[in-house]
Structure 1
Amino acid sequence: VARQFIFRMREFEQMEMQFFIKPGTQMEWYDFWKENRLKWHKSLGLGADNYRFHDHEKLAHYADAASDIEFKFPFGFKELEGIHSRTDFDLKAHEEHSGKKLQYFDHEENKSYTPYVLETSIGLDRMFLAVFSSSLMEEELENNTTRTVLKLPAVLAPTKAAIFPLIKRDGLPEIAKQIVEDLKWDFNVTYDEKDAVGKRYRRQDAAGTPFCITVDHDTIEDKTVTIRHRDTMEQKRVAIADLKAIIAQEVDVKHWLQKM
């Protein structure tokens, strides 16, 4: 690590996409990917005000447009992702050094051309830092206590739900473990019966678990449980049969992408 925690590392992971396009359409696609990549970042719920574009005035010799998506880290706005219109520099260089043509035949125009490249490049380490630096917080509660809560985007949270029996007797642990058994095929879930329920809530808040599900004596009678949302601490009574759909709506990648 060079400085600024893991923002600058001597070895780092980079996620890149090279999108091949028709020459002359690069500005259209440049604007498209700027808009869509920013939309993707904002969909994680880390705060729209934490993002901004920095358009480059000085360009590399092969580029005709370049912009960074910057994120507001604890040490200020810094680059998170780069979006670059690289013209035909990449494929022309490959052609030159390989001696092989890398052209595309356009049937609509009945001609061949070397595609231009629109590149997006995002740092995995910086993305990790952006998520954690904005998710971990201390909250003041109404009863003059504080809680440590890791408000990870639900789609990224490693554990999606924790299931508790209110007490360790009267058949409640058995029901809770059956719920774990039913949910584990779709989500990463955990079981906890140690300490009072309030302490269990705090543990899961700190671990970033989006949902806590409590089994109590009413569960035996009506097959409902209390589900608590990590961020709002709101509690609702829901049917055990509805748990899978409720959790999936928040944590499923498909639903997250559809909401974008």
Structure 2
Amino acid sequence: MSQTVSMDKIVAFCKRRGFVYQSSEIYGGIRSSYDYGPLGVEMKRNIKDEWWRSMVYARDDVVGFDSAIIMHPKVWEASGHVETFNDMLVESRSSGRRYRADHLIEEATGMEVEGLSPEELTRIIQEDERIKDPVDGGRDFTPVRPFNLMFETYTGPVKSPENVAYLRPETAQGIFVNFKNILQTSRVKVPFGVAQQGKSFRNEITPGNFIFRTREFEQMEMEFFVKPGTDEEWHEYWIEERYEWYLRLGMNPENIRKREQSDEERAHYATRGVDIEYNFPFAGWSELEGIANRTDYDLKKHAAYSGTNFTYTDQATGESFIPYVIEPAAGPDRMMLAFIVDAYTEEEVAGEKRVVLKLHPRLAPTKAAVFPLTRKEPVATIARRLYEDLRGDYRVFYDESGSIGRRYRRQDEAGTPYCVTVDFDTIEDRKVTIRDRDTLQQERIPIEGVRERLKELISG
């Protein structure tokens, strides 16, 4: 990561290069809502594909799943979300702004107040004169009260209490309520996992920091069901496995770490939680992914509420038990921000400033760009044919506009790892030049070997 990088620079870069736009911008935008541009949608898809490949395709003990966004409201009663999925809200009477009470206190005093009751938080705000409204400096606050983060909606044509439903705040519960179905239809045996990707919705009081925290976001969660007594070993396994995944995709080890969750911040159903954190420029070390030991809490709760028997019987031993669950949970939006920040580099090459996004080739939105050195024939025709031959494998870009140096710079900034140039010599020797984005080294290879060479470079 460049020492000069800031969030303002990253946000401007993402818009300029077509990674992320403010949603509904022509109408003034809507807070904490973003659209993914041509490069952003490709990078986000690549992140999701890499996660799915490592979590599902590369293993024989994990299957995939996709649950509905709107489920029966009793799902969220059983999971505890209706009763306990709250942030503590406080409102400034002077400015009319609303804040998360714990954030307001922690930023003003440095105190750790996670897990305190509304009454305790109210007392701290009233008594500590360091706590002020960040907007106008006022100290006139309402009492702290819980604010449920679920988006409420209605099913059917009538807005009535019996038709209340919720947009899911997490993807995990869809897996738990389908545990028996998946077990019976997939012929899996404990230990096994169920992986899912999809949209979740949380009505955050104070979303912000670009795509780090939004009200509409995607999750990638895997529930790994294990025999009680083996859960600690499996938890440790998944902590290391997930940490190494980031390193394998090129993340700087100096910018990533594992951190044990405190008793106060850990979810009430978990015996242990470990966060993989990234050193973001806007807030320092912040959660990138969480790996929790959820015990048998979820299956037992849904069994009690639904009357369904979620007991698993080991056919080899005859032993019966409710499985424990190890859950690695992450989001491609937050991952994408971390990978962009980590890859953003400003450097000088031959006395000229170069902005380059040094993404791992498998994450890069565009894998290769094809350039004809000139628009004249037959160079342009050869380049166009090469482009058409390559583009079915992955996203490839064709550019014949401007000087070759300018075209290189545009692709460097977009994160494209390889540029292939067709020149006048290609007419005679049938060879092209492949340029590496990071090292700037070039190799000359036969045009017939470009496809295989790029596959080799990208998968390496």
Coarse TM-score class (shorter-chain normalised)? over 0.9
Tell me the equivalent position of 2:439: 232
How far, CA to CA, are the matches of 2:274 and 2:392 in structure 1?
42
Length-normalised TM-score, structure 1:
0.92
Tell me the equivalent position of 1:243: 450
Query: 1:116-165 CA deviation, whole Å, 9 max, x = no partner?
Result: 11011102221111011122222112x21101112222112221111111
RMSD: 1.4
Q: Are positions 1:136 and 2:339 aligned together?
A: no
Tell me the equivalent position of 1:125: 333
- 1:97-176 equivalence runs, <5 A: 97-141=305-349, 143-176=350-383
How far, CA to CA, are the matches of 1:31 and 1:225 in structure 2?
48
Deviation at 1:26, TM superposition (A): 0.3
Q: Are positions 1:45 and 2:250 aligned together?
A: yes
Query: 1:200-223 CA deviation, whole Å, 9 max, x = no partner?
Result: 111111111111111112211111
Tell me the equivalent position of 1:207: 414
Unaligned stretches of 5+ residues in structure 2:
1-31, 33-206
Counterpart of 2:239 (choices 34, 47, 51) is 34
Deviation at 1:11, TM superposition (A): 3.1
How far, CA to CA, are the matches of 1:60 and 1:193 in structure 2?
55
How far, CA to CA, are the matches of 2:314 and 2:221 in structure 1?
26
1:154 match: secondary structure: coil
Residue pair 1:224, 1:240 contacting (<8 A) in 2 also: yes
2:216 match: secondary structure: coil
Deviation at 1:167, TM superposition (A): 1.3
How far, CA to CA, are the matches of 2:449 and 2:254 in structure 1?
35
Aligned residues: 252
Query: 1:147-195 CA deviation, whole Å, 9 max, x = no partner?
Result: 1112222112221111111112141001101101211121221211111
Tell me the equivalent position of 2:387: 180
Deviation at 1:28, TM superposition (A): 0.9
Counterpart of 1:10 (choices 201, 209, 215) is 215
Given the superposition, is the C-alpha separation of residues 172 and 68 from structure 1 closer, same or farther in structure 2, using an over 3 Å criterion? same
Tell me the equivalent position of 1:218: 425
How far, CA to CA, are the matches of 1:38 and 1:202 in structure 2?
32
Deviation at 1:43, TM superposition (A): 1.1
- 1:49-88 equivalence runs, <5 A: 49-58=254-263, 59-75=266-282, 76-88=284-296
Tell me the equivalent position of 2:118: none
Deviation at 1:21, TM superposition (A): 0.5
Length-normalised TM-score, structure 2:
0.53
Tell me the equivalent position of 2:76: none
Query: 1:24-49 CA deviation, whole Å, 9 max, x = no partner?
Result: 00011001101100111111102112
Q: Which has the higher strand share?
A: 1
Amino acid in the other structure paired with 2:434: I
Deviation at 1:90, TM superposition (A): 0.8
1:120 match: secondary structure: strand
How far, CA to CA, are the matches of 2:442 and 2:401 in structure 1?
20
Counterpart of 1:23 (choices 194, 206, 228) is 228
Asked which structure has the greater RCO (Cα within 8 Å, sep 6+), the reply is 1
Tell me the equivalent position of 1:90: 298
Amino acid in the other structure paired with 2:438: D
Pick which of 202-211 and 241-250 moved more: 241-250
Residue pair 1:224, 1:238 contacting (<8 A) in 2 also: yes
Query: 1:93-113 CA deviation, whole Å, 9 max, x = no partner?
Result: 110001010011112221211
How far, CA to CA, are the matches of 2:421 and 2:267 in structure 1?
57
1:243 match: secondary structure: helix
Deviation at 1:60, TM superposition (A): 3.4
Displaced runs of 4 or more, over 3 A: none
| Percent identity over paired residues | 49
Residue pair 1:17, 1:120 contacting (<8 A) in 2 also: yes
Unaligned stretches of 5+ residues in structure 1:
none
Query: 1:61-98 CA deviation, whole Å, 9 max, x = no partner?
Result: 32222100001111311110000011111100110001
